[in-house]
Structure 1
Amino acid sequence: MWQKFNKLGAGSYGKVHLADSPGFRIPNKVAVKSAALENSASLKREALFLKKLKGNPYVIQCYGEEVSQEDNEGMVYNVIMEYAPGGSLKDLITSYNNVMPETVVSGYASMLLRGLSFVHRKGVVHCDIKPDNVLVFPAQDGGLHRLKLADFGLSKRVSEEIMEFRGTPYYASPESMQSGMQGTPADIWSFGCLVLEMMNGGERIWKAEDRWEPQKPEYISECGKDFLGKIFVSVEYRWSADKLLNHPFIQQSK
């Protein structure tokens, strides 16, 4: 049986603990996301999405769900998932003094697009793409760390018509903020904000006079600017994850 021993974080969903699971699961250390059973609707919804998205190397993996009786907390709903020893992408950006080299950004953007492509093909919209919701795993070949999309608590099915904003305003697309329209293109806009944040640590992404015109650092290559130009456009012209994977900016990371 797994046993919680170190609190990793907390939010509106509940709490996350690091847990030991010797002889119970592979790997031996897992992350357990928990909520009081009576307040676990959001976490149960996240577990359903994680099951649907199982098996992709760029999406956090779920090992199962259980209900436990805990001292001082009563009945608790738990989702057992991969533990990310590298923390979040936000931590990784900080480790680069908030400005990643463009070749590194290209490599990480490729991983995130592969994850988003899979998520979108499965008929899911993440709805809250941001550095805090991307987890970091050790590199397997001595190269870049492995990034995985996580935190699907606000996600929706593409077919669901939920005409209200969900997510984080700083990374939100114009159409999601203005009309609540949140489809796969909204994830792509948020991904673009995340790419800019890797390039400049989130400093002055937006021009003061125009919330919807991203401020691209002058030192970005023409290829990088063209890549971002396929993202920060109106929804009908915005490129999909699959299309962006074939852009020269991403191809250079191979």
Structure 2
Amino acid sequence: MAGKYSNSLRQMEWVKGNAVGSGSFGTVNLAMNKSNGELFAVKSASSGSGFQSLENEADILKNLNSPYIVRYLGHDVSDEANGEQTFNLFMEFMAGGSLSDITKKFGGALDESVIRSYTRGILHGLAYLHRSRIVHCDLKCKNVLLGSSGDIRLADFGGAKRLNSSKANTNSKNFWQSMCGTPLWMAPEVLRNEGLDFASDIWSLGCTVIEMATGSPWGDEVSNPMAAVYKIACSDETPQLPPNFSAEGLDFLRKCLQRNPTSRWSSEELLSHPFVSGNTSGKYSSKEYAYSPTSVLDDRGWESDGSESPIAEELPARMPFLKRCTKEERQMTKHQTQIDIAASEWVDVRSG
């Protein structure tokens, strides 16, 4: 398939190559600039929900500029022979594929030293998004791309939300149509339809770190999707932590996987955590560290990646954590979770 790639700067002739991945809607193909042989990736979708998802992703990406976010190159809309229109989103090509691919290729689990490095890159990307008032909403290994030199890029922004947009409000009767994400990585408060905030991404980050370490965010604890959604939403449980992780790694995960979203550390705070910063000055005590975050904040510094700068104003307070589910709420949650999820496979839930 050939077409024209256009944005405000230029036009070019391009041709679509083999598929290199798939998303919630449509496929991702390798593509080539016919004039100079430049390679890039094109994500295409023609269905109604897929078209809207890519439109949202293009709208989000075109305003972002960070070495930790996949680079937007433009988009076009093509007319197909069957009368449908196809939305094509052009992005930089990441030769390493996704972290999910990498984890599977290296035995289903990565070394902790590698996880530390990848997690630091993911956090830089999240910190940039959150300063831009954007919640990714679907952070997981499949949506983190890797370059050949180990550079990390966050990708797949089809379900991302701007907190100053009415679209970010998930409190509606059509919750399952308006929510986004993949259930095993989703925060409890999101599954309970209590709202969406930056802290939701932090819970997903913890699940993603566990996924890199074990191959799955919840391990073998949840085999039935419907039971898993109920468990994550209304129990007091958290994912099982990797048994061979260091004290720093376990403490980092505890900072992410607090069921009360107001107790989770922010992306900026986590960048100063010894698990990713490498700053282990003084005797480390996971118990003491876990209950004294002031000791980190008092010594926190800003590390710039060259394209990002801190902002003076504090981020708005997170949405308060509501009470534990009552019997009636559990029945309501159980009713809401009657969604079409195959028992053998987890699927993404996207805005329609």
TM, length-normalised to structure 2: 0.65
- In angstroms, what is the RMSD of aligned CA positions? 2.3
Note closer, same or farther for the CA distance 1:238–1:21 as it changes in structure 2 (3 Å cut). Answer: same
Q: Which residue of 1 aligns with 2:190?
A: 176
Note closer, same or farther for the CA distance 1:84–1:180 as it changes in structure 2 (3 Å cut). Answer: farther
Note closer, same or farther for the CA distance 1:11–1:99 as it changes in structure 2 (3 Å cut). Answer: closer
Aligned length: 246
For residues 99-144 of structure 1, give each alpha carbon's deviation from its aligned partner in whole angstroms, at most 9, with x where no partner exists: 21111111000000000000111111111111111111110xxxxx
Gaps of 5+ in 1: 140-144
Q: Which residue of 2 aligns with 1:36?
A: 46
1:120-131 to 2 correspondence within 5 Å?
A: 120-131=130-141
1:215-226 to 2 correspondence within 5 Å?
A: 215-226=240-251
- The alpha-carbon deviation at position 200 of structure 1 amounts to 1.4
Contact 1:50/1:152 (<8 A) preserved:
yes
- The alpha-carbon deviation at position 161 of structure 1 amounts to 1.8
Note closer, same or farther for the CA distance 1:97–1:246 as it changes in structure 2 (3 Å cut). Answer: same
- The alpha-carbon deviation at position 207 of structure 1 amounts to 4.9
Which deviates the most, 149-158 or 212-221?
A: 212-221
Gaps of 5+ in 2: 1-12, 223-227, 280-302, 304-352
Contact 1:207/1:213 (<8 A) preserved:
no
Note closer, same or farther for the CA distance 1:52–1:197 as it changes in structure 2 (3 Å cut). Answer: same
Picking from 200, 210, 224, the partner of 2:214 is 200
Picking from 92, 107, 121, the partner of 2:117 is 107
For residues 74-104 of structure 1, give each alpha carbon's deviation from its aligned partner in whole angstroms, at most 9, with x where no partner exists: 5322111111221111011112212211111
- The alpha-carbon deviation at position 152 of structure 1 amounts to 0.4
Quick one: distance in 2 between partners of 1:72 and 1:31?
Answer: 24
Quick one: distance in 2 between partners of 1:178 and 1:206?
Answer: 23
Quick one: distance in 2 between partners of 1:151 and 1:204?
Answer: 22
Quick one: distance in 2 between partners of 1:95 and 1:112?
Answer: 20
Q: Which residue of 2 aligns with 1:142?
A: none
Structure of higher CA gyration radius: 2
Q: Which residue of 2 aligns with 1:19?
A: 31
TM, length-normalised to structure 1: 0.88
SS in 2 for 1:230: helix
Are residue 237 (structure 1) and residue 247 (structure 2) matched? Answer: no
Contact 1:106/1:249 (<8 A) preserved:
yes
Contact 1:19/1:32 (<8 A) preserved:
yes
- The alpha-carbon deviation at position 204 of structure 1 amounts to 4.9
Identity rate, percent:
37
Contact 1:18/1:30 (<8 A) preserved:
yes
For residues 54-81 of structure 1, give each alpha carbon's deviation from its aligned partner in whole angstroms, at most 9, with x where no partner exists: x211111111111224455653221111
